[in-house]
Amino acid sequence: MASIFEERVRSRTQKSRAVYEEAKLVLPGGVAANTKAISPYPLYFRDARGAYVTDIDGNTYIDLVMGLGIHILGHAPAPVMAAVRERLSSGPLPGMATELEVELARKVRRHMACAEMVRFVNTGTEATLMAIRVARAYRKRDKVAKFEGNYDGQHDLVQVSTSTIAGPVDAPEPSLNHSGVAKSTLRDLVILPYNDPERATALIAAHADELAAVIMEPVAGFGMGCVPATREFIHAIREATAKRDIPLILDEVVTNFRLGLGGASEHYGIKPDLVTLGKILGGGFPIGGYAGRRDLMDRLVTPTGRPSEDQGRISQSGTFSGNAVSMAAGLATIKVLEEGDVYRQLDVMTERLCGGLKRLATDHGITLAITGVKSMFQVHFGLDHLTTIRERSGEDFARATEFSHGLLANGVFAVPRPWFMSAAHTQADVDKILDVADGVFKEMKHAKPAGVAGGSR
Ligand code: PMP
């Protein structure tokens, strides 16, 4: 059964529908990435400025997806676009070293205490792949512990237990809900429960001798629905790993420059051994990065030029790694973040939106939890709180899809995933979203549950 708003979305987006019908023939699902395959079908966009995106039917939306967390300054911010244009005018220089990568590494180092040395790659997936490789080279072991409900990219080792669960809560088992991941990777994995310091540290202690690394999201974003680690939990994991000399890889692909200039490590006051970077760091262009302790990065990543001396080191290259366009865009973004009062403004706007949504839900008798930290958050229907993925069994995903359709039908681009505030969102934008949500909740209250499929990926 379609949601009560689905027909309205469809009637406004006939051009997207037509493109989708053709796109399906050449692109599986009509898109290049599963995240773009939204319900009822992908919308195809032609323009993005500030807080707004315009689809090919000419509908303009206030955007809450914000490039899956990239656009902290809004879409196409003038200083970033100018830096990119300037770079392009002298050639994009892929595959060549430029001073821009040096400058961007210095910026990361200045703001993130744990990032003593940095390497840039092109995606967050590559970032976690390489950070794990560094840890394995250091520990001379293969096993990696990751958390249930954490999404750390799409390579085999971490594409397990991202949004599904298996086994008992005190000893979670790897959950493979996607095909094509080599079963042999499971031998190298220990799955830990998130936000459960006692059980997680007990498992780290039990597997300590075999572990190369523990990788963790400080805010469990795209797998679990934007659930922050508690302070007690993140500090317990830091302590349990430090005590046993197991590198802790903090996956900050989403949180770097989102929770503040110093990312989640600064926000929580912890110093991981390695940190992974991405999204905001590239100013809207492809990026990933990994950084950390000098003794690990310098000794294990630096090439010597002589293969015989490379033993014990990792290999990381990449045709586009540190590409000058992403470097220039990232630098321009960070400069704006350093100069302005962006983070305070983001907090105020997010507070206004989340507080307003919560009030409206209460007024309409709708059970709603809002999880998140600073300017990243997600709404969850049918729950009043959410701290671990296992609690999501009670979540009403059909309602989330219905709400998303209601927002899409009324000019707010928001799908059931983490939402992100940007510096371009004004008070008027937030009030407009609240006005729309009020109307949508009102209709949802009177409608029967929709029974449509949905939820985070
Ligand atoms: N780590 C985290 C925490 C992420 O959220 C993501 C992507 N959303 C990744 C890694 C992978 O990044 P990418 O999509 O750039 O490969």
Report how far ligand 1's centroid is from the alpha carbon of 301 (Å).
Answer: 22
pLDDT at 456: 35
> Which ligand 1 atom sits nearest the alpha carbon of residue 68?
8
For 94-153, what is the HEC assignment? Answer: CCCCCHHHHHHHHHHHHHCCCCCEEEEECCHHHHHHHHHHHHHHHHCCCEEEEECCCCCC
> Which ligand 1 atom sits nearest the alpha carbon of residue 35?
8
Phi/psi at 370 (nearest 5 deg)? -120, 120
Measured CA to CA, the distance from residue 437 to residue 358 in angstroms comes to 11
Each residue of 29-73: pLDDT tens digit?
Answer: 999 999 999 999 999 999 999 999 999 999 999 999 999 999 999
| Domains recognised in the chain with CATH numbers | 6-76+341-446 (3.90.1150.10), 78-339 (3.40.640.10)
Q: In which band, very low, low, confident or very high, does the pLDDT at 449 lie, cut at 50, 70 and 90?
A: low
pLDDT at 451: 46
* Residue 128 Cβ < 6 Å to ligand 1: yes
Kindly state the average pLDDT of the residues 159-171.
93
Q: Which helix (H) or strand (E) holds 371?
A: strand 368-373
Mark whether 251 is an active-site residue.
yes
* Residue 330 Cβ < 6 Å to ligand 1: no
Report how far ligand 1's centroid is from the alpha carbon of 253 (Å).
Answer: 6
| Range in 199-203, 308-312, 318-322 with the lowest mean pLDDT | 308-312
> Which ligand 1 atom sits nearest the alpha carbon of residue 252?
3
Mark whether 151 is an active-site residue.
yes
pLDDT at 454: 38
Partner residues linked to 376 by β-bridges: 373, 420
Q: In which band, very low, low, confident or very high, does the pLDDT at 446 lie, cut at 50, 70 and 90?
A: confident
Lookup: tokens for 23:
């796109």
Report how far ligand 1's centroid is from the alpha carbon of 235 (Å).
Answer: 23
Report how far ligand 1's centroid is from the alpha carbon of 415 (Å).
Answer: 17
Q: In which band, very low, low, confident or very high, does the pLDDT at 387 lie, cut at 50, 70 and 90?
A: very high
Each residue of 212-257: pLDDT tens digit?
Answer: 999 999 999 999 999 999 999 999 999 999 999 999 999 999 999 9
Each residue of 347-386: pLDDT tens digit?
Answer: 999 999 999 999 999 999 999 999 999 999 999 999 999 9
Sheet holding 368-373, edge to edge: 368-373, 376-381, 419-420
Measured CA to CA, the distance from residue 97 to residue 201 in angstroms comes to 42
pLDDT at 457 over 80: no
Mark whether 442 is an active-site residue.
no
Cis geometry, peptide bond prior to residue 418 (ω within 30 degrees of 0): no
Measured CA to CA, the distance from residue 393 to residue 103 in angstroms comes to 46
pLDDT at 448: 64
Lookup: tokens for 218:
């400080």
Determine if residue 140 is left, alpha or beta; phi over 0 gives left, psi from -120 to 50 gives alpha, anything else beta: left
Kindly state the average pLDDT of the residues 322-351.
97
pLDDT at 452: 44
Q: Out of 63, 188, 251, 273, pick the active-site residue.
A: 251
